[in-house]
Structure 1
Amino acid sequence: MLIIGIAGGTGSGKTTVARSVIDRLGSGKVTFISQDNYYKDHSHLSLSERELINYDHPFAFDNELLIEHLKQLKSGSPAQAPVYDFTVHGRSTDKSVELKPNNIVIIEGLHVLSDEKLRELLDIKVFVDTDPDVRILRRVLRDIEERGRTIQSIHNQYLTTVKPMHEAFIEPSKKYADLIIPEGGHNEVGIQLLAILTEKYLSGDRAWGEA
């Protein structure tokens, strides 16, 4: 099993890169995991209390559960991933995602490269590097259309947590990347390189991973 981790700032194009690689390889060969679904469960808190949590800090994620699930997949066992509902800042109580063992596992998220124990499980580490202005515009559109957010709440969150956490944790994690893909989903060459590496693994060619 080959595990690929794709990190990068909000709106950088991580999911687009992951989906583009999956389209090239074939969805049946890849298990996709979004780190977003592994936000810690705060169901014991009121909605107003949940809204005060810094969701851009590495500690906002339940990486212990994520690592446990990755180990289950590596051992050949399926896992049940939680589903996070951004409209209520909490895990869904009636939905989950079945993760099946596969030749390739792609996990994408803000802090995929920030956690040392998580990094140790990754065979290929990727950082998607996109201009900050582009990223914030994408985030505004996504949060309004998909997450039911207001412009004011997006503005406040960006200045208080998103930007500071990017500078403190996400940008520094770029140094751990094996491959940096500038401009995310628009970088066809970078996406093709990642797909080629993965295809070599699928074909049984492990020479690229040897010291």
Structure 2
Amino acid sequence: MTAGERTGEKKDQCQGTGDINFKDRIASSPCVFTIGVAGDSGSGKTTFTQSIRDIFGEDLVTTITLDDYHLYDREERKVRQITPLHPEANRLDQLEHDLVELKEGHTIEKPVYNHATGRFDPPIRFSPGKILILEGLHTLFTPTLREHLDFTLFVEPDPEVKIEWKIRRDINKRGYTREQVMAELGPREEDYQRFIAPQQQYADVVVRVRFSKYGRERGTQDKVYQVSLSQNKITQSIEDVDLSIDLFSLLSLSDRNFLIEFSHEQRNTERSGELIFDGELSARMVERLEQSIEDQTQVRPISVFHNRGHVTATEVVQLILAWRIIHQRVFLERCHHLDQIQG
């Protein structure tokens, strides 16, 4: 059962909105709201939760990278001929223990994996923010991890996109050579299909990234991709939200290509929907969505896209995910309040 399904059981009891600044309410709440983001290394996991960091800030949002829970350093993995995608190459039992502690608001001694050296640095004391994001390969791998996550996301770029991103990241940020990256891709892909990809079935939302239909080069040059959200039917709503189509821009011939598409699909055993964006959309089209988030949370201003004429498909999806996550947090807050009253 996903986080969305769990909260959906209280749909009829938890409607309604409030006027209290939700950011202040989160800051004063004893609860730690956990977001789990799973996907392959270099798949863009951080990108799709960036809006949450932008909206709520570093005072409230903390992040754990699951690479810190590798069991072996880079050299030992080579000797053992095991990739970090294999569960046995990670301390998932310690991760489970630490997540339970963090969910209770406790400080932990967190391990630290240094990508520059491929070795482990000394552990550090880590305290959770009121919003805790877990990002990594095995975020949704075990029942215990899934049980203690309030919102779950899986990011899946197309293989060609993933290879391009991984090469660029590992060379520019992690000191690998192109030859080293390419040599790892074969064994990693086998383990990805075996251990990582199946975690999609547990995610509230699956984000897929493909090269844009308007040209593969748009990704490298302008970060323009085709991005989709696959999600089961939302079973609860606080209030309606709008993603407006600016007819004036369309009828006066928009100067950028874009696509919005919705299609039904079968995800897991349930019928689901895939919302697809491509190209660049007028920033005016997302203003109503930003306004809806402000109205629901009383956090003003959102304005994720400052002084922008156009936004990419990736940025639109970032904002929609921010609404989904905030919506889930608002809903859980109100259900918790109702439980206290009824208790």
TM-score by length of 2: 0.53
Relative distance call for 1:174 and 1:82 in structure 2 (3 A) is: same
CA RMSD of aligned residues (A): 2.7
Amino acid at match of 2:61: V
Structure 2 equivalent of residue 193 of structure 1:
323
- Mapped to 1, the partners of 2:48 and 2:177 lie a distance apart of 27
Please state if 1:86 is matched with 2:115: yes
Cα drift, residue 49 of structure 1: 2.6
Q: Residue deviations 1:87-115, cap 9 Å, x none?
A: 4432114xx44321332211011111122
Query: Which structure shows the higher helix fraction?
Result: 1
User: What is the 5 A alignment of 1:111-190?
Assistant: 111-160=138-187, 162-183=188-209, 186=314, 187-190=317-320
Larger radius of gyration: 2
- Mapped to 2, the partners of 1:136 and 1:29 lie a distance apart of 33
Amino acid at match of 2:112: V
- Mapped to 2, the partners of 1:47 and 1:66 lie a distance apart of 19
Structure 2 equivalent of residue 24 of structure 1:
55
Q: Residue deviations 1:114-137, cap 9 Å, x none?
A: 222222221211111222211111
Q: Residue deviations 1:114-163, cap 9 Å, x none?
A: 22222222121111122221111111111111221111111111112x21
- Mapped to 2, the partners of 1:48 and 1:164 lie a distance apart of 16
Relative distance call for 1:14 and 1:97 in structure 2 (3 A) is: farther
Structure 2 equivalent of residue 8 of structure 1:
39
Amino acid at match of 1:132: P
Amino acid at match of 1:157: E
- Mapped to 1, the partners of 2:88 and 2:185 lie a distance apart of 18
Q: Is the contact between residue 34 and residue 109 of structure 1 (CA under 8 Å) also seen in structure 2?
A: yes
Q: Is the contact between residue 47 and residue 88 of structure 1 (CA under 8 Å) also seen in structure 2?
A: no
Please state if 1:205 is matched with 2:235: no
Which shows bigger deviation, 100-109 or 192-201?
192-201
Relative distance call for 1:30 and 1:140 in structure 2 (3 A) is: same
Structure 1 equivalent of residue 66 of structure 2:
35
Query: How many residues get paired?
Result: 202
Q: Is the contact between residue 85 and residue 195 of structure 2 (CA under 8 Å) also seen in structure 1?
A: no
- Mapped to 2, the partners of 1:75 and 1:199 lie a distance apart of 16
Relative distance call for 1:172 and 1:48 in structure 2 (3 A) is: closer
TM-score by length of 1: 0.83
- Mapped to 1, the partners of 2:78 and 2:207 lie a distance apart of 38
Residue ranges of structure 2 left out of the alignment (5+ in a row): 1-31, 210-226, 228-312
